[in-house]
Amino acid sequence: MSDTEWDRLFGELKAIENTHPELRTMDSPTHRVGAEPASALVKHKHRSRMLSLGNAFDHDELVAWKTRIEKLVSEVSETAFQLELKIDGAAVNLTYQDGLLIMAATRGNGTIGEDITTNARTIPDVPLRLRGSDWPASMEVRGEVYFPLDAFDRLNATREAAGEPRFANPRNSAAGSLRQLDPKITAQRGLRLFAFHIETEGEHSFGTQHEVLDALETWGFCVAPHRQAVDNLDAAKLVIADLEAKLPNLNFGADGVVVKVDDLALHERLGVVGGREPRWAVARKFAPEVAITQLRDIQINVGRTGALNPYAVLEPVEVTGVTVSHATLHNFDLIAAKDIRVGDIVEVTRAGEVIPQILGPLREHRTGDEKPFLAPSHCPVCDTPVEKLDGEVMHYCPNAACEGRVLESLIHFASRGAMDIRTLGEQRVAQLRDAGLVHDVADVYQLTAEQLMELEGFGEKAATQLISAITASKRQPFSLLLFALGIRHVGATVATLLARYFGTMDALMLASEEDIAAVEGVGPTIASAVAHFFSVKSNQRLVERLRDSGLDFDEPVTDSGAQPLAGQSFLVTGTLPNLSRSDVQQRIIDAGGKITSSVSKKTTAIVVGDAPGSKLKRAQALGIETIDESELLRRIDAQS
Ligand code: IVH
């Protein structure tokens, strides 16, 4: 029918549905346009686990796979294989009841995904009602939603024209588009679907995988092109090579060929490894595209936590359709291990990753002019001696006030989950830094409205707004300040644990590495990073400047109710009969008490459980009261 005719009928249908909502069926095409935005995606438990696939990276590994499963089920030696392109998109699970789409979900962790039904309805390839009538009454159809490459390029061109950042790759964008809260956005993206698998309640009548694919097509699904059955792996080898050569002509990403035992009766017998990967299928991955170019320089970027991140500056080269001029080198050890030298001819790959990687140098191209890379002994930005902690691969600049870190650390400091300084976003941070107004996070509190008003884009209103947001941030609790400082390994959760346990900045700064490690949920790596942070002179100065600016260095006690243990401190040793270590800590803290990890005269009591440690003896020597779990609970409950 013509577009005009379609539009006319569609308009009529919408009018009918508006006046008679009871006539609006599940499979009405008006559902495709997009319902109202949701506020959050709802979890969905798949009927059976959505499986992933084992990999074979070359033909030998493919043969090894067959040999393995032949040993389990001898009929495999004679069996045929179905070859299907492995679509590089986002897996979805579509539930059909009596031929109607009733639910669509993402893969999630394989067991629990997210309900994306309204979004899936906007994808024209997703049948709302199955064609024909020979479908199983209750069935899940699994497939891959993908972003057609031409649609992806168009979207990026539009985004660029609108001054918005480009999306990194079609796969992530397909997944992101599926998980939009507003189905109208999903609808605009032009997503497509290839179906490849069914799960049914009870028996179905199909004998082979290729019959399933045929059936999916008759029901109205698209099945990926170039599928083919072969009798043996020699034949498979030729087909796979042919498909790999076809890849540049396809309008969708594929990262390999899925080789499946065609006979479904054998699937049952072969089963699934570890509940995750079926034995009856394997992904024969295509070689990642590799480009060859010259490494011009190795530079170092100082990250928010002070990590020195080396990266390669490359002679620009195209890899999988994207021009690459930088690649990560991860860390100094890796550069040494791969013997990567400035001036080397190197292999670069994107291999499904967003960030290009260097595979290694081509030594046969060396002229002798290449320069080995020497890891710097001092921070390239602030010249502080570089540190490397035991057991960590990264090198760090330990100076929290390092200018190399200022941009990223300020953005983090001001962010919503940290000090929450409204209107101080990335652009403004860069502007303040470029104007020389901020060199570290403490400088933020020295800013004045007058200074800001001299900057471009700052009127009086914006300036006073930012200053009052900065002032308000001084009252953020200690836990958020701790997180905002960007101490390595200290995320929001660890910051909360530390703040609750120590109560004040001063207590934490005085704590030894051992004291910190005694906090439940805080391991030795974190403890060492925290103790180290506060041992660095420039960091101590930074903290003092924050204190002078009037920041809150105390953690408010969350429970505003009774505080029967206020002013008391307890040490717990041994296993308590009912409460776990974290439970008992929480109870004491909630009741206003403090936890200590070393016994002193100030300790109110030592709570003793089964198999207590040496601290019990020391407590007894100091004459400190010994109590058990039930006595502790009695004291907590006594007045609350
Ligand atoms: S079969 C249900 N066939 O690859 C049996 N998977 O790495 C397991 N994929 O999660 C999947 N194309 O999302 C199969 N033709 C194809 C596929 C395919 C893409 C995805 C699928 C799976 C992932 C595993």
Question: Which residue minimizes the CA distance to atom 23 of ligand 1?
Answer: 52
Contact call for residues 196 and 210 (beta carbons, < 8 A): no
Half-sphere exposure of 114 (CA within 13 A, CB side): 16
**Residue 264 structure tokens:** 């479904």
Tell which residue, 449, 46, 491, 120, has the closest CA to residue 275.
46
Per the structure block, which two tokens stand in for 583? 């439970």
* Burial class, 67, CB count within 10 angstroms (exposed 0-12 / middle 13-18 / buried 19+): exposed
Task: Give pairs for 383-388: CB < 8 Å, separation 24+.
Answer: 384/538, 386/308
pLDDT at 39: 66
Q: Is the CB of 213 under 6 A from ligand 1?
A: no
Quote the ligand 1 centre to 52 CA distance (angstroms): 6
Cα of 230 from ligand 1 centre, angstroms: 19
Q: Which residues pair with 300 in a beta bridge?
A: 310
Contact 136, 201 (CB under 8 A): yes
Distance (angstroms) between ligand 1 centre and the Cα of 277 equals 10
Residue range 270-311, pLDDT digits in tens:
999 877 899 999 999 987 778 899 999 999 988 888 899 999
Query: Given this model, what pLDDT does residue 9 score?
Result: 87
pLDDT for residue 33:
61
Decide: 281 in ligand 1 pocket, CB within 6 A: yes
What is the C-alpha to C-alpha distance for residues 164 and 464, in angstroms, rounded to an integer? 29
Nearest CA to ligand 1 atom 5: 51
Taking the C-alpha atoms of residue 498 and residue 609, their distance in angstroms, rounded to an integer, is 24
- Pocket probe for ligand 1: among 107, 258, 264, 268, the residue whose CB has the most ligand atoms within 8 Å is 258
306: which residues sit within 8 A by CB, 6+ positions away?
A: 396, 397, 398, 399, 400, 402, 405, 488
Question: What pLDDT is stored for residue 74 in this prediction?
Answer: 95
| pLDDT for the residue 598 | 79
CB of 146 within 6 A of ligand 1: the answer is no
CA atoms within 13 A on the CB side of 515: 15
Q: What is the DSSP letter of 396?
A: B
Provide the pLDDT for residue 433.
87
Q: Pick from 122, 132, 159: which is nearest to 30 by CA?
A: 122
| Ligand 1 close to Cβ of residue 311 (< 6 A) | no
Task: Pick the atom of ligand 1 nearest to 84's CA.
Answer: 15
Catalytic machinery residues: 86
| Dist. CA 602–CA 21, nearest whole Å | 72
| Closest of 127, 125, 137 to residue 191, by C-alpha | 125
Q: What is the pTM of this model?
A: 0.55
Unique residue bearing structure tokens 């953690």: 555
Beta bridge partners, 301, equal: 309
Q: Which of the listed residues 57, 82, 83, 86 should we mutate to test ligand 1's pocket, taking the one with most ligand atoms within 8 A of CB?
A: 86
- Nearest CA-CA partner of 151 in 251, 254, 248, 246: 251
Low-confidence ranges of the chain (pLDDT < 70): 2-4, 33-39, 320-321, 351-354, 557-562, 639-640
